[in-house]
Amino acid sequence: MKPCLAIHGGKPVREQYLPYGKQSIDDKDIQAVVKVLKGDFITTGPTINQFEEQVAVYVGAKYAVAFSSGTAALHGACYAAGISEGDEVITTPMTFAASANCILYQGGVPVFSDINPHTYNIDSKLIKQKITSRTKAIIPVHFTGQPVELDEILEIARKNNLIVIEDAAHALGATYKNKKIGSISDMTMFSFHPVKHITTGEGGIITTNNQDYYQKLLQFRTHGITRELNKLIDNHGPWYYEMQTLGYNYRITDIQAALGLSQLKKLDSFISKRKRYAEIYSEEFKKIPEIVLPSQLNYVDSSWHLYIIRLNLSLLKVDRKDIFHALQKENIGVNVHYIPVYMQPFYKGLGYKAGACPQSEILYEEIITLPLYSGMEGDDVWDVIKAVKKVVKFYSIAE
């Protein structure tokens, strides 16, 4: 193997480091936050309601409940779905840990089902094999922003009386057969972490068309407390409230909601830029035999949270780690999404073992995430392309 340093004897493609993801904040966003800071409510006030209503309208759902993070939102969804001790929930291992952790928080058991090697999403055909008498729900993840095969998953859920909670942390603005993600399944989670399509700093939201889930989500995020007169068991007076379940302090703030409202106005333009940059990447990388691109389903419209290339290691002299380091030395902020969840030490401690989802494990060894965010400029995109071509050419067995 040639050492990585060999390719960097000359000048790197970029002088400044380009991160793989980053928030896009402008003066209007700052002014929106300042307005709330100067007002009467900075924590739980009317701006949260406005933000929830606007997100619900955008995705076409009846209800939306905002949380302090996407993880908290998933936890709320698992609670609303009635997941409890011993219940099994099927999900993908190719995701961030929160997609499975939320199941554990409720005493449930994550059951990992392998991916389709072409789309990198959970393989709907394999889900059936994982269903037992203890299965309660399915948490599919729209990996990189490309929706999963929802029709197949929802049919499986209906036949087996299962609840579907979409982890759409990557997929705000994506569509499935001309329907916005967030309006289709029992519940859908979106994340507003800074690298996502829009940000509230930290934050997440659940959208649903089910009023019962909606009420449970509202109560769960506020310590299990209610003030609604028709729900009170007792009533000591106008000051009275009741803690009726063990909830959490998962509330988002008006400060964050103000930022989210301002960002939401720019969401479509943000997604448009991501799509344009992804198209440029794909057009250039499809010409390189050392790179494999994921299949794009023709009945979905990805919102392109991440752009991932897969290395054809049989055509390269080195492994993924060497390519990764080489791109970093070109000042390209690459990343890897994700380490299969059950390979984490904590999950190994629970008894999960390597080999459970072979397609996910193979994919993990071959993928690299490239920079993609709305604040990038055209020159940034071409710098990434130049760096990838330079590194791949250097390490290609054809050279």
pLDDT digits (tens, 9 = 90+) for 362-389: 999 999 999 999 999 999 999 999 999 9
Flag whether pLDDT at 138 surpasses 90: yes
Q: What is the DSSP letter of 104?
A: H
Query: Residue 16 has what pLDDT?
Result: 96
277: buried, middle or exposed (CB in 10 Å: 19+, 13-18, 0-12)? buried
Whose CA is closest to 306, among 167, 195, 199?
A: 195
Q: For the chain, which residues make up each domain, given as ranges?
A: 4-22+267-395, 27-264
pLDDT for 10 equals 78
The pLDDT of residue 1: 36
32-90 pLDDT, tens digit each: 999 999 999 999 999 999 999 999 999 999 999 999 999 999 999 999 999 999 999 99
What pLDDT was estimated at residue 9?
64
3.40.50.720, 1.10.1060.10, 3.40.640.10, 3.30.565.10: CATH of 27-264: 3.40.640.10
Superfamily per CATH, domain 4-22+267-395: Aspartate Aminotransferase, domain 1 (3.90.1150.10)
pLDDT for the residue 6: 44
**Mean pLDDT (the chain, rounded):** 96
In terms of residues, how long is the chain? 399
Distance CA 310, CA 174 (A): 22
Radius of gyration of the chain (CA): 22
Main-chain dihedrals φ then ψ at residue 26, nearest 5 degrees: -125, -175
What's the pTM value of the predicted model, to 2 decimals?
0.96
Question: Is the CB of residue 195 less than 8 Å from the CB of residue 376?
Answer: no
**Over 60: is that where the pLDDT of 2 sits?**
no
pLDDT in tens, 227-236: 999 999 999 9
d(CA 300, CA 279): 15
Cα angle for residues 26, 170, 172 (degrees, 5° grid): 65
The DSSP code for 129 is: G
What Cα–Cα distance (Å) separates residue 56 from each residue in 39, 53, 142, 212?
25, 5, 19, 16
